[in-house]
Amino acid sequence: MRVYHDQDADMNLLAGRRIGVIGYGNQGRAQALNLRDSGLEVIVGNQEDEYAQQARADGFTVLPLAQAAAQADILLLLIPDEVMPQVFEQEIAPHLSGKVLAFASGYNVAFGFITPPPDVDVVLVAPRMIGAGVRDLYLAGCGFPSFIGVAQDVSGRAKEIALALARGIGSTRAGVVEVTFAQEAELDLFTEQCFGPAFGHVLTTAVDLLLEEGYPPEAVLLELYMSGELSYTLGKIAELGMVEQGALHSRTSQYGSMSRGMRFLLPELRARMRQGLEEIRSGQFAREWAAEQAAGCPTLAALKEAARSLPLYELERELRQALGSVPTYRPAPAARGASLPAVSTGRRWAWLRRLWPRRSRAPDSAALGAAQMETVLRRFLARAAGDPALRAFSRGRQLTTHYVLKDVGLEFTMRFQDGSVAAGLGPPDGPAEVRLETTGEVLDGMFTGRINALRAAMSGQLSFSGEARLAMSVQQVQDDLCRLYRAAREETLA
């Protein structure tokens, strides 16, 4: 295990070399200020916007991007990864010969969106810290960890330069680890796409269950994460390790969590994480995200809207308001002993009725039996196959959706291909691009307009595998599917 510290990095290597910080946002501002405070010469390259004004206000010389690239010897590309390839091609690449090109993320190089010219050193200095922390922890004197890496070593000193830059931004004070560009990008995406969401869904599942069981919402949210105890404990896990931090909790807590923890070792979770990692490594995610951006990010907008429509979003907002601020851990006793503002029982239940309708355990009065469901689906699929709106949606598409209704033991498939729609009961002949698994009751609710499909997915009543963009594209014909389903349902119940 190798971790680099101050003594492993020589900032003299950077003496007399002008550092051009391209972009003055989260990372750009923090890194430019730290490098300057470390005694290095820094100029800023930025388009004319409020970030450029901020850089000037902070006392930097600010130049247009191409001019900064021409005047600097070492270039730190600190603009959003999404815009970087185009900016790089037009403004940076023509001025690079013989220089050092540094990235704070391996993404564009690892997935082939940027190919640097062969005569430059290409290094990675990627803080494991948000921009505000990069600056605050530099000023506090403790620094923050970073990954460094080398993609091209023309000078023979690329790694030393990366270490010197890491020292300049204050990272070797905390510790620096060497990785490849691909490893940095893959680990970063894995955290965002697998670990983060899995962790998030553990939280939302717990909230959902406890509210369903009638616990007061403000107590549930405070207990699980809004007290700040969870974030404090995560800090202690980083400091002391998973096992030893246990000593900070009661023995009841230690015994309970260790003896009951085994039941959450779910093979399915590991399999889903592996699937996510494979999508990342194969470049499938990078290609999908590039296509989504080219289309103007409609799926991202729909997913954000769906997340905001979840009851939890509103509950959190109301609790934040009731508390006055989100409690963050402060060692001062006042913060620990602060009493919560009273929330009346009446108001509490008004919240719940409005935002979190109790799920009934008894079957919905309108629920269909398995045999009725089969008849409805048969009629629905026959209508779908001949429907002009679905045929229009199908033009230029190749999309197979496979629905599995476990509780009623039914499956059906809809295939949209080049203007035609094939729909029938049973699984598809080959692999489906999108597979949805839910219950007959939820599907019936979705197609009769009682249940929002996105909300059902986000609250765990519906799971899908496949590409999110393709699954979301079916939303375009959701109204038509509902129209056809309702007609089939009415005919069956008549």
Instruction: Measure the CA dihedral 448/450/454/458, to 10°.
Output: -140
Q: Amino acid letter at 235?
A: G
Taking the least distance from each CB to ligand NAI, the nearer of 81 and 433 is 81
Cβ proximity of 34 and 168 under 8 Å: yes
Q: Which of residues 29-68 bind ligand NAI (CB under 6 A)?
A: 46-47, 49, 51
Q: Which of 18, 25, 157, 486 binds ligand NAI (CB under 6 A)?
A: 25
Q: Is 456:430 a contact under the CB 8 Å cutoff? A: no
Tokens of 275: 């699937």
Strands (DSSP E) along 108-171, which ranges?
121-127, 146-152
Stretch that binds ligand NAI, among 26-34, 231-239, 326-334, 368-376 (CB under 6 A): 26-34
Tell me: does residue 27 bind ligand NAI (CB under 6 A): yes
Residue 208 sits in the site that holds ligand NAI (CB under 6 A): no
Output phi, psi for 332, to 5 deg. -60, 140
CB of 266 to ligand NAI, least distance (A): 31
Q: Which residues contact 375 (CB under 8 A, 6 or more apart)?
A: 492
Structure token digits, residue 383: 């209508």
Measured from the CB atom, is 144 or 403 closer to ligand NAI?
144
Which range in 22-30, 389-397, 415-423, 484-492 contacts ligand NAI by CB under 6 A? 22-30
Binding segment for ligand NAI (CB under 6 A), chosen from 18-26, 136-144, 238-246, 430-438, is 18-26
Q: Which is nearer to ligand NAI, 52 or 158 (CB)?
A: 52
Residue 23, interface with ligand NAI (CB under 6 A)?
yes
Residue of the chain from 19, 33, 74, 126 that contacts ligand NAI (CB under 6 A): 126
Q: How far is the CB of 120 from ligand NAI (least distance, A)?
A: 17
Stretch that binds ligand NAI, among 23-31, 219-227, 251-259, 422-430 (CB under 6 A): 23-31
Helix, strand, coil proportions of the chain in percent (round to 5)? 55, 15, 30
- Closest CB to ligand NAI among residues 38, 47: 47
Please give the Cα distance from 41 to 22 (Å, whole number): 14
Burial string for 338-350 (b: 16+ CB within 10 Å, else e) reads eeeeebeeeeeee
Interface with ligand NAI by CB under 6 A: which residues?
A: 23-28, 46-47, 49, 51, 78-81, 83, 87, 104-105, 126-127, 130-131
